[in-house]
Structures are given as C-alpha cells and as structure tokens.
Amino acid sequence: IRYVVSAAATEEALLADLLHELEFLYDADPAQIETTLLIHPYVLNDFLDYNDFLEVVDAAISELDLGGEIQVASFHPDYQFAGSAPDAIENFSNRAPYPILHLLREASIARAVEAFPEASKIYQRNIDTLRQLGLAGWRALWLEPSA
C-alpha cells in the first residue's frame, strides 16, 4: 500500500496530485505497489464539495484512459450515503479521519472477487455489523477503558 499525504490546499492542486498518483500506480509493478491511499487533509473537508469532486476524479480516469484499469473508492470524515441521516450508522463504513481517495487496480479487485466468491456481500455485512453495534456502541469503541 502506498500512502500519500497531499499538501494540496485547492482542488486544482489536488487534481494535479491525483493525476500524478493515477499514473504512478498504473506504471508501478503491482508486486511493489498494489494500491494507493491519497490522503488530502487540507482540501475538500466539506463533504458536499468532496462528493462533487468525485466527478472530477472520474473525468481524470477517463482523461488518462485508465477506465477498466483503476477505480477510486471514497472515504471522508462526514461521509453520508444519499438518503441517509448525517448520523446514520451505515455512513461510518466510508468514514475516515481525513478525506481519502483510494486508488485501486481493477485487476486486484477481480482477483479478490475470485478468491472470495461472496465478496459482493462484504459491504452489506459491514453495514449489518454497524447497525447491530449502533451509534453508542461505535462511539464506545473509541473511548479509553475506565481505570
């Protein structure tokens, strides 16, 4: 896993970093770099702006002719699925301490699906687990144990 913390403070600078990382991942030996987490703590902290930027991400993949080669998963501190309340527990499946663009090789995803025939159920299982845990249970996971 390649971890890149972007210093970008504007969407334009983040796009430049994204283009670089898409090309870098595509050109890299998969045995050396399988996936990249592009962490960008200084830009797109508003979830709606971040969500809008995902269209720019898709356009960048098309511009570099990387469709079918690389896809991007999205994580954000305030991630919110369409139609869900901001504090709905299922949103936590895509939350992270900072906004992150996770660049994934589609070939890697295909291998994972082959190795785990029920891979498509993982997402729903995660949501079900979060719902069983509930918001109070989730928050309790992050509290320090009492003395």
Tokens (6 digits) for 94: 């895509």
Distance CA 70, CA 101 (A): 12
Contact status, residue 25 vs residue 102, Cβ threshold 8 Å: no
Which percentage of the chain shows pLDDT scores above 70? 97
Distance CA 129, CA 126 (A): 5
pLDDT tens-digit series, residues 80-130: 999 999 989 999 999 999 999 999 999 998 888 888 878 778 888 888 999
Which segments of the chain are extended strands (E)? 2-5, 35-39, 70-75, 100-105
User: Please, where are the H alpha helices in the chain?
Assistant: 11-27, 47-63, 106-115, 122-141
**What pLDDT shows up at residue 141?**
84
pLDDT tens-digit series, residues 21-66: 999 999 999 999 999 999 999 999 999 999 999 999 999 999 999 9
Tokens (6 digits) for 75: 């994580």
Q: Is the pTM here over 0.85, yes or no? A: yes
pLDDT tens-digit series, residues 128-147: 999 899 888 888 887 766 55
Distance CA 116, CA 107 (A): 14
